[in-house]
Structure 1
């Protein structure tokens, strides 16, 4: 098995312009270098798009985190101010009506 793979690989490296009819990566008669270059280019484009999408999500998460941190600070400040005013009065049942 390993020997046949080495022979196949050597054939592709030494005769790249020949049609590929034995390579297990190719399912048609496209020249090997062309087919593999096209697949590589497709994968590079897909990776670039995924990277950009990932960066956008990271920026969005950072923005949300900043916003939430601001809200947390504001709530803490409100609690601090309310605590400084003294204990909260107990709610009576008639307050809820």
Structure 2
């Protein structure tokens, strides 16, 4: 199945359960709901299986199908304009591309 928009409610629940069960050890150490909320956005950093979860794969697929060609186009444009400046500036260019895509009407 490609794309999060095609998932049924039951699939989403199943995928979320997979993530929560796999991360139970890390989340168990949390002392409050706030701790859990702070840990979840950093899950990719501390969970070696993060990219294997079905939910994450579906989200990635959805992002790729929705924004993939626009991201590639912007990367090409930036590379042509700033090829000598791009080395070591990945985050800056990712921020610029993200901002441009979010502001786009396409």
TM-score band w.r.t. shorter chain: under 0.3
Task: Give the TM-score normalised by structure 1.
Answer: 0.26
Structure 1 or 2: larger helix share? 2
User: Structure 2-normalised TM-score?
Assistant: 0.24
Q: Which has the bigger relative contact order, CA under 8 A and spacing at least 6?
A: 2
